[in-house]
Structure 1
């Protein structure tokens, strides 16, 4: 089996474990444990702080310990954190251990993203490699929310914690079959170029809107349109199935067309603006198709550009910085949405109109940045 296929398979099981609970964490805090939306918003802000710490330290860990060992450690302790949340099952402990898992997930993501950059060179090959990795990840993502929504609906959120804790352990033997790489620079040597830093600006804006596919959509569809958790889980499954079916093909199409990231970001903005017009499950499913198409264009190009602009000797640390920015974007997206919902939950055009601006702003930023970007 090729190494990229191993990485994709590991990512699939990892994503399956995470996506069983990830879309439902904020919703569970709100509905099951009785936290107000303002506190849920604070939870996502704390996640943002943890993501910053985990991304930077995860980059250092990835360069110092190596990609393989970092992945193994993060997977093992992530399982333990979820198991403790299941056993204790008090609101404060569930919140605390899911935040611990946020840290560990980020370390894993930095390691798995970095190892692809070690294995492949050049933006064309990297776009295809990251596309293949996303096929595996989204195979897990396609199944996880559907099963998670079913279990949540009939057995409760606590059971989800146990299932996720057990599933994630199954991939450790496969991780050990990967080659290992380490950084060659010092622990504090990041070597961030001006080009890399400039690229992070539209990256943050993009991932604010990427972060809407989770708590924000689930809460809006459940509270306003009265979709069940299972129905919203099915919408997330459409996203995963489409990526599994089409990401490789789209990866081949976009490998030499990096400026299509601008189009993808604009599509994100338009698709989330159209959420305000959704009236039933069918139109919600159609809108998810366009959200997914934007994702299939934007994400692999973004990862390939980040890996290309990173210095090979400190790739782990620099991909940690990239992970920090994308993680902050996702968390900021959920936090901003939950705060907006406190005022505009039942004013769809106001709510999703504001959110869509992040997609349109990122499209304009990519257009300006890519005009000056020098790629190797």
Structure 2
């Protein structure tokens, strides 16, 4: 027991004060993530939208996320990560407050796009802030801490959202606004005059590394473009977790909504409990390339396990393995993106990487449900596992070139 406690202590050692503060801001912000888990139910039960209309509105959410990721990266390089994060957090507050007034299909679709566009400018700016304030030797752990805050917030948010929805769906939007406002206050208070610790790192590069000193265009950097294509493929396969996997649990395995919620919540619990200690262990023994290869392949194995005709314990084991693959892959995508950039282009690089994941939110639900409906869940899981295995080999190839 003492050894386990010591491992946990060591996994958090070396993290800067700013990394903890950024994680707290992220936790407060993501605790307010109540709208998205209940948006489809709100549209179908309260607004009587058809399934096709619900799908289009959710597509607008994904499109706004893509545009916001690009815009956030561009603005961060122009205005700095502090201004972009502060403005994003402040502007979404009135948008959440007025959102319940838009009850037509066209009006809600437009508002969801605008809301997500502004909200997701925060993501690349926040990723740049982590890179600027983290100690270079602890960059991956700093990103893992941020992800842990995101997962903890996503675990708390839907529970609060379910409670508020029992009174009125409108309170879900108001709760999101309150959380964003609280995150804005905390962020501005702690970071308004704080100087990044990595502000002058580009001045220390030796003169013979001219290529590394030049500012590259993230969208014209061929190896990074290919890397992001594989990140998008990983996301399209992995994010079946949020679309077709709950449907599989209900339709194929006959699970209740409560049981499905517990199983999905188990994923967040595993990540909060184990990610920091896992990343601390593997980054000392393996290269980021090796970790991402193994992590992607492990995620593929978890989907392959779903075709085995075993019971609930097996499904929990598959979810644990999927969470392990996620913990081994996602923190290192941010680390590689930040390391590829120069000081003046970190916003663009982090924005491009965020865009790769956001783009998956547009295509992943449609492709997954289409395959499940026309070819069955067994084909879907074989296909998902195959995509992740291909992506694992793709990461092996492109990261060797990077």
TM-score, with structure 2 as normaliser: 0.81
Shift of 1:295: 0.9
> For each residue in 1:129-151, what CA deviation from the matched residue of structure 2 results, as whole angstroms up to 9, or x when unmatched?
11111122222122223333455
Number of residues paired by the alignment? 367
Query: Residue 218 in 1 paired to residue 246 in 2?
Result: yes
> What CA distance in whole angstroms lies between the structure 2 residues aligned with 1:214 and 1:32?
22
Secondary structure (helix, strand or coil) at the match of 2:306 reads: helix
Match of 1:324 in 2: 355
> What CA distance in whole angstroms lies between the structure 2 residues aligned with 1:235 and 1:366?
29
> What CA distance in whole angstroms lies between the structure 1 residues aligned with 2:113 and 2:195?
28
Change (3 A) 1:341 1:80: farther
Q: Larger deviation: 283-292 or 241-250?
A: 283-292
Match of 1:114 in 2: 128
Match of 1:142 in 2: 155
User: Counterparts of 1:1-376 in structure 2 under 5 Å?
Assistant: 2-18=17-33, 20-26=34-40, 28-29=42-43, 33-120=47-134, 122=136, 124-149=137-162, 151-152=164-165, 154-155=166-167, 157-176=169-188, 177-178=190-191, 179=194, 190=218, 192-256=220-284, 257=286, 258=288, 259-277=290-308, 282-344=313-375, 347-373=376-402
Where in structure 1 are there 5+ consecutive unaligned residues? Answer: none
Compare CA radii of gyration and give the structure with the larger one: 2
> What CA distance in whole angstroms lies between the structure 1 residues aligned with 2:258 and 2:163?
5
Secondary structure (helix, strand or coil) at the match of 2:401 reads: coil
Q: Larger deviation: 294-303 or 224-233?
A: 224-233
Secondary structure (helix, strand or coil) at the match of 2:120 reads: helix
Contact 2:152 2:272 in 1 (8 A): yes
Q: Larger deviation: 308-317 or 36-45?
A: 36-45
Shift of 1:9: 0.8
Q: Larger deviation: 219-228 or 6-15?
A: 219-228
> What CA distance in whole angstroms lies between the structure 2 residues aligned with 1:293 and 1:41?
30
Shift of 1:236: 3.1
Contact 1:68 1:180 in 2 (8 A): no
Change (3 A) 1:203 1:121: farther
Secondary structure (helix, strand or coil) at the match of 2:237 reads: helix
Change (3 A) 1:278 1:253: farther
> What CA distance in whole angstroms lies between the structure 2 residues aligned with 1:340 and 1:191?
32
Contact 2:25 2:186 in 1 (8 A): yes
Contact 1:14 1:168 in 2 (8 A): yes
> For each residue in 1:128-182, what CA deviation from the matched residue of structure 2 results, as whole angstroms up to 9, or x when unmatched?
1111111222221222233334555x45644422322222221112211123669
Change (3 A) 1:250 1:8: same
TM-score, with structure 1 as normaliser: 0.86
Change (3 A) 1:301 1:217: same
Where in structure 2 are there 5+ consecutive unaligned residues? Answer: 1-15, 203-212
- RMSD over aligned CA atoms reads 3.0
Contact 1:267 1:294 in 2 (8 A): yes
Shift of 1:244: 1.6
Match of 2:209 in 1: none
Change (3 A) 1:131 1:199: same
